[in-house]
Structure 1
Amino acid sequence: MTGTNDAPRVRDTAAGAAVESPAVIPAKRWVYVIPVAAIMYMLAYLDRNNVSVVLPYMHGDLDLSNADKGLAGGIFFLGYVFLQIPAAVLAQRWSARKTVLILMVAWGLSAVLSGLVQSRTQFYAARFVLGFFEGGVWPAVLILLASWFPLRERARANALWMACLPLSSVLMAPLSGWMLDHAGWRWVLVLQGLPPLVWAVVWWFAVADRPAQARWISSAEADHLARTIAADEATKPAAGGGSYLGAVRQPSVLVLIGVYFFWITGFYGFSLWLPAVIKELTHNGSATEVGLLTAVPFTVALVAMIANAAWSDRTGRRWQAVALPLVVGVVALLLGQAVHGALPRMLLLCVTAAAVYAPYGPFWAIPGQLLRFEVVAVAMGLINALGNLGGFAGPYLVGWLTDATGTSLTGFAVLAGFLAVAVILVTLGLRPVPAPPRDRSGDAPARPANSAAKTES
């Protein structure tokens, strides 16, 4: 699927020389760019989400109620807002590689400090600062990927990179549980904050901002990518006259913000409380047992995420690839409140995890189809900044409702309502998103540069 480029052989008649067929050009970007970026963000996601494994085992060290734990999980996202747009603009106008490097070092140090706090207020502050520095990484990497992968490959590239989200939980939840059984929660946070400082060195030497700057890519592949991405840009209408403000005022961008907020509220409300629910299902099992079982839903999510992105790229059906999994998530969350027994509830947790992770690749392919490169950075930063406020609302809401009702079931039922709103917004607001489907040979169908984008079927 990702081993070679897709365009047919062409001949440069003006130069009088044959251009090597991209079909036989090794697509090294899939091997160099995606894995390095995925490991980098897997470490970021670990430092963000390890608190979900740690909180049930803090045993009153900081005297946290369930609402306080929800606040500790969610306050990260208040800090997450601030650098979204500045980092996106820096990545576009200066360097995505350098922007991510600086943020990687800063968040690694912040993660280490999270394990050294002595009070509840300090813990909140440390989580806020961690979110502040991690906030700019997501849009900066999306800008980087847009310089390396044409539109017809974008959902798969996004999903393979974003596969680090469930993969981080698959690998690190058991590790965090094992570490908790053999050391205190402080050591877990400190030791897991160190790897980003090491990986920053790998990032600096392995990643380039664009193909023309990479030492490991062939000139044929670099030229092909430059031509293909330029052709993609030529098919897009000038959004709002090409201004940042005009771009973010587009109705489709506003809908994307709403979709992302309601989806992410359900997403993080589920993800950050999942270990606590599994601990309850195991009747307060050991941290290692809970960590291993927590990895199971995320393994299912990883498979669903990649499969859904491949289907989206193959068919061009972006909005369906976002909406249908969320519908499944709504049903699974509601059924989870009605069924009893550890095994049925565990199966529904797996289905829910797959449903809330699956839309990632197709969703983040949509802004690049709507907007030109010169304005998409700000739009993606704004979508991620405002949408991720749901990452504060979801965990805190579940924690508060758990304290108020004595069970997490109520909170999860409310999260289903948030996902349902996201489905409504996707269905009513995103249907006209264009996405060039691939034919059987893997090529994107040719479209005149001045042709209007057609509504998806």
Structure 2
Amino acid sequence: MKSKWLRIIPVAFVMYMLAYMDRINIGVLMPYIQKDLNISASAAGDIAGIFFIGYLLLQIPGGILATKWSAKKFIFILMILWGLAAMASGFVQTEGQLKLVRFLLGVAEGGVWPAVLVLLANWFTLQERARANAFWMACLPVSAILMAPITGMLLHHFSWKTVLILEGIPPIAWAFVWYAMIKDKPVEAEWMVEKEKHQLLQLLAAEQSQSSKSEGYAAAFKNKSVWGLVMMYFLWMTGFYGYTMWVPSVVSEFTNDPSVMGGLTAIPFTCALIGMIVNSSWSDRRMNRIQHVVIPLFIAACTMVIGQFVETPVLKMILLSITAIGVYAPYGPLWAIPTAIIPAEVAGAAMGLQNAIGNLGGYNGPKFFGVLKDLTGNYHAGFYFLALSLALAGVSTLLLGKAIPKKEISTVPTSNPKTVNSN
């Protein structure tokens, strides 16, 4: 069944890569925004983080609309709206206006993640879904690798406002590619061979008939393990987005050329992509999720602290790159943990809750990093705060690991590895 892989995954990959761009470019542009609007580091953290307040609002409604209406149409509308919001960012005149537009941008993009998960579930069987999710989520570091240098090069020729306007155009253009290429379900795909379509529909129908009926979000709220996952994810996202937001500002100290700064910023994220793939594959072979989440988080926490005692740009870049690996590497193994410790009938609701509330760490990290930068006049305290968040996320994961049955964490023969469930 190659046609669906070539038709669905690449279009979804580019779509979400353009969405993630709005979480990367703001970090590259922030030194120029701060100077132009005369705002503090704390306000800069607010501008970056308020996106995640808006992001929370459509997490649950987005999944419902995608399920009961159309993931394809819903995402198409959201792409138009977030493209317009991204372009509107380039017309702001005050700090308050930029915060408002960033909030609306977060609202528009917040419904995309759950809608894509619904779409992939309509197209890929359980045995395929982990790979489908993994290929799709690889767009996160790829977006950073590509968009940081592109934003830096554009800054070399245009103001930060013009860059935001220009980078708001691609999502609107890609929305029409999305609408033309994507179908909600295989039965609608005229490009699919009938035999292949019939076989896929039979497999999906068989899986659905055997699946347990979800008890919904009410049951997820009552489960202690779910709240453990929410807390762990919140702490991780605090460190994750705090790092992602502020690392371009650290790199900007190495050079005054924005295009060089954008290129240098791509280096840690390139390392992150490699680390993400290697760690997920290794976790699959060993069938061990906890270690492959905890160890990268502890490594990232340690290198963040060590980096505050290093002055040489080359050594700083090496430590930033190791930190990027540690921050991104847990993605694959982490999303295999919920299904191992939560009853199947509430797993979907639990992961939606985990993603919705946990992503508020995306506000917490940039905001408190900025506050500490204002209070101390340097980046040290901010990175100590992010390191503490990552370390606590690692400790939380260790505690969650005690609830995983031993059969889920034991080593299995590499000739027959179980696939990570990254949803």
When the two structures are superposed, what TM-score results if normalisation uses the length of structure 2?
Answer: 0.90
Distance 2:356 2:51 in 1: 12
1:294-309 alignment, distance < 5 Å: 294-309=265-280
1:159-198 map, 5 Å: 159-198=134-173
| Contact 1:81/1:386, CA 8 A, preserved across alignment | yes
Question: Is this contact kept in 2: 1:156–1:309, CA < 8 A?
Answer: no
Matched to 2:319, the amino acid is: L
* Deviation of the 1:159 alpha carbon: 2.4
Counterpart of 1:207, as a letter, is: I
Percent identity of equivalent pairs:
47
Q: Structure 2: which 5+ runs fail to align?
A: none
The answer to whether the 8 A contact 1:297-1:353 is kept is yes
User: Which residue pairs with 2:391 in the alignment?
Assistant: 420
Matches within 5 A, 1:248-267: 248-267=221-240
SS at match of 1:54: helix
Q: Which residue identity is paired with 1:345?
A: K
Q: Per the alignment, do residues 359 and 444 of structure 1 end up closer, same or farther by CA in structure 2, a change over 3 Å counting?
A: closer
Structure 1 counterpart of 2:323, from 352, 366, 369 = 352
1:92-120 deviations in whole A, cap 9, x for unaligned?
22222222111111111110101101111
Distance 1:334 1:234, change over 3 A: farther
Distance in 1 of aligned mates of 2:404 and 2:73: 32
Shift in CA distance, 212/253, structure 1 to aligned 2, threshold 3 Å = farther
User: Do structure 1's residue 76 and structure 2's residue 47 form an aligned pair?
Assistant: no
Partner in structure 2 of residue 23 of structure 1: none
The 3-state SS of whatever aligns with 1:46 is helix
Alpha-carbon distance between aligned partners in 1 of 2:52 and 2:413, rounded to the nearest angstrom: 41
Do the aligned partners of residues 156 and 285 (structure 1) sit closer, same or farther apart at CA in structure 2, a change above 3 Å counting?
Answer: farther
Is 1:289 aligned with 2:264? Answer: no
Gaps of 5+ in 1: 1-25, 446-457
Give yes or no for the alignment of 1:56 onto 2:27. Answer: no
Secondary structure at 1:88 match in 2: helix
Which of 100, 105, 119 is the equivalent residue of 1:144?
Answer: 119
Distance in 2 (alpha carbons) for counterparts of 1:77 and 1:444: 34
Look up the match of 2:283: 312
Deviation at 1:299, TM superposition (A): 0.7
2:92 maps to which residue? 117
Tell me the SS of whatever aligns to 1:338. Answer: coil
In 2, distance between residues paired with 1:356 and 1:380?
A: 20
CA deviation profile, 1:105-138 (whole Å, cap 9, x unmatched): 1111110101101111101111111011111111
Q: Give the Cα–Cα distance (whole angstroms) in 2 for the partners of residues 312 and 195 of structure 1.
A: 35
Corresponding residue of 2:242 = 269
Alpha-carbon distance between aligned partners in 2 of 1:439 and 1:236, rounded to the nearest angstrom: 28
Distance 1:263 1:59, change over 3 A: closer
Offset, 1:67? 1.0
Partner of 2:355: 384
1:405 is the counterpart of 2:376: yes
Q: Residues 258-295 of structure 1, C-alpha deviation per residue, up to 9 Å, x if partnerless?
A: 11100000000000001001112x1x421111100000
Shift of 1:53: 0.8
CA deviation map 1:343-382 (0-9, x unaligned)? 1111111111111111223323444664658x65543332
Q: How does 1:204-223 map to 2 (within 5 A)?
A: 204-223=179-198
Partner of 1:29: 4
Letter matched to residue 392 of structure 1: Y
The alpha carbon displacement at 1:219 in A equals 4.5
Question: Is 2:300 the partner of 1:325?
Answer: no
Question: For structure 1, which segment, 126-135 or 97-106, has the greater mean C-alpha deviation from structure 2 after superposition?
Answer: 97-106
Structure 1 contact 269–394 (Cα < 8 Å) conserved: yes
Decide whether the 8 Å contact of 2:217 with 2:353 is kept in 1.
no
d(CA) in 2 for partners of 1:253, 1:212: 35
Q: Does 1:130 align with 2:110?
A: no
String of CA shifts for 1:298-325, please: whole Å, max 9, x gaps: 1111111122233334443333332232
SS across alignment from 1:58: helix
Pairwise CA RMSD of aligned residues?
2.6
Task: Tell me, in whole angstroms, the C-alpha distance in 1 between the residues paired with 2:189 and 2:413.
Answer: 30
Distance 1:361 1:205 in 2: 30
Return closer, same or farther for 1:426/1:59 CA change in 2, 3 Å cut-off. closer
Aligned equivalents of 1:215 and 1:104: distance in 2? 24
Note if contact 2:34-2:40 (Cα within 8 Å) is conserved in structure 1.
Answer: no
More helix by share: 2
Q: Normalization by structure 1: what TM-score? A: 0.83
Residues 150 and 417 (structure 1 numbering): CA distance in 2 closer, same or farther, change over 3 Å?
farther
Larger Rg: 1
2 CA distance for matches of 1:315 and 1:236? 27
1:88 positional shift: 1.2
2: distance between equivalents of 1:378 and 1:92?
A: 13
Aligned CA distance change for structure 1 residues 343 and 325 (closer, same or farther; 3 Å) = same
